[in-house]
Chains A and B, each alone.
Chain A
Amino acid sequence: MPNINELEVGQEIGSEVFHFTRDSLVRYAGASGDFNPIHYRDDVAKSVGLPGVLAHGMLTMGVSIAPVLRWVGDPAKVVDYGVRFTKPVLVPTTGYAELKVSAKIGQIDEEGSRVRLEIKTEFEGNTVLGKAQAWVQF
């Protein structure tokens, strides 16, 4: 675990790249219990006016905490995590969608011994999560 007294606002704490395939979506559907067919069936996605099969927002949220977890070393230290889903992640039938996740320190609350991380998740050059932030308890 990093030392809270040695941190600076704006400091980058890590980044990571993820590839979402159709297999990733099926695996996430099974693990989470979210079997909405817009996440694995092109015909259903198109019938409700979507451009194609989308990744579960919760899969994007789930992977986006990875740099914070690597940095802090213990998932129990993440006491608050929230995101807004601002853009869909389209996952092609073959190949993959590439997501780039990075995180930096947004706020240091020395009294409460907590740090707020700001998370950025990009797909095809756009951020797909808004107000993505996590509080880590030190």
Chain B
Amino acid sequence: MVNPLIEGKRYPRTASFLVGREKLREFATATMLPEAFSDEAAAKANGQAALVAPPTFPVVIQEQSLKLVLADPEAQLDLSRVVHGDQRFVYVRPIVAGDELTSELVVASVKSIGGNHMVTFNTEIFDVEDRLVCTAISTLVVRGHDA
């Protein structure tokens, strides 16, 4: 289940997340990316200030905001019945090691389709200067009890 009334609800800004170089390497290894993408010298040779995050890394930041929804009694979101419907990351600039990021999630829509709910979250990710870095858009499918 998910409470349809949370459509439009905005959750508070998350605490700052410091993006560590070793966390980026751990994530790159876990997503089976070539070793070159864990190489700081290669990133600098590409003109980047530090090691660049893999394209799907912002899911880690999105997760910080999602925790607020899961802890919200009004949302009634039951994680055990959730499957991931779709996911997108739209970048303003790359995320690099050393970034301190916060995020703010808004419930973009809650739709009911054939006994299931589809809930779409837009999570905006900001840097320490409060500039938008990336928007993570995620749709979760919450299976109904008959599905």
Binding site for B on A (CB under 8 A): 18, 24, 27-28, 30-34, 36, 38, 44, 48-49, 56-59, 61-63, 65-66, 69-70, 73-76, 78-85, 88, 131, 134
B72-116 contacts to A (CB < 8 Å):
79-81, 83-91, 94
User: How many inter-chain residue pairs (CB < 8 Å) link A and B?
Assistant: 112
Contact of A33 with B137 in the complex, beta carbons under 8 Å: no
Name B30's contact: one of A30, A48, A49 (CB within 8 Å).
Answer: A30
B11 proximal to A (CB < 8 A): no
Q: Which of A36, A63, A83 is within 8 Å of B87, CB to CB? A: A83
Residues of B within 8 A of A131 (CB): 86
Known contacts A69-B34, A73-B36; can you find 4 more A-B pairs with CB under 8 A? A31-B23, A38-B80, A76-B52, A84-B85
Min CB gap B123→A, angstroms: 14
A78 — nearest CB in chain B belongs to which residue? B55
- Give the complex CA separation of A44 and B37 in angstroms: 35
- Interface set of B (CB-CB < 8 Å, partner A): 23, 26-27, 29-34, 36-37, 43, 46, 48, 52-56, 59-60, 63, 79-81, 83-91, 94, 137, 143
Residue from the set B33, B36, B55, B143 with the largest chain A CB neighbour count within 10 Å: B55
A32–B91 touching, CB < 8 Å: no
Contact A76 B46 (CB under 8 A): yes
Known pairs A58-B87, A82-B137; A75 contacts B54 (CB<8 A): yes
Q: Check B32–A18 contact: CB distance below 8 A.
A: yes
Residues of B within 8 A of A134 (CB): 55
Output the nearest chain A residue to B90 by Cβ-Cβ distance. A80
Residues of chain A within 8 A of B80, CB atoms compared: 38, 44, 48
Contact among A27, A36, A65, A85 with B55 in the assembled complex (CB-CB below 8 Å) = A65
Cα of A79 to Cα of B58 in the assembled complex, Å: 12
Q: CB-CB < 8 A to B143: which residues of A? A: 49
Q: A62 — which chain B residues lie within 8 A by C-beta?
A: 27, 30-33, 54, 56
Asked if A74 contacts B91 (CB within 8 A), the reply is no
Q: Which 6 A-B pairs have the closest CB atoms?
A: A82-B88, A62-B31, A31-B30, A76-B94, A57-B84, A84-B86
A81-B89, A84-B85, A84-B86 are contacts. A33–B54 as well, Cβ < 8 Å? no
Q: Known contacts A80-B88, A81-B55: does B34 contact A70 (CB below 8 Å)?
A: yes
Nearest chain A CB to B29's CB is how many angstroms away?
7
Knowing A32-B59, A57-B84, say if A27 contacts B91 (CB, 8 Å): no
Asked, given contacts A78-B91, A82-B86, whether A61 binds B56 with beta carbons under 8 Å apart, the answer is yes
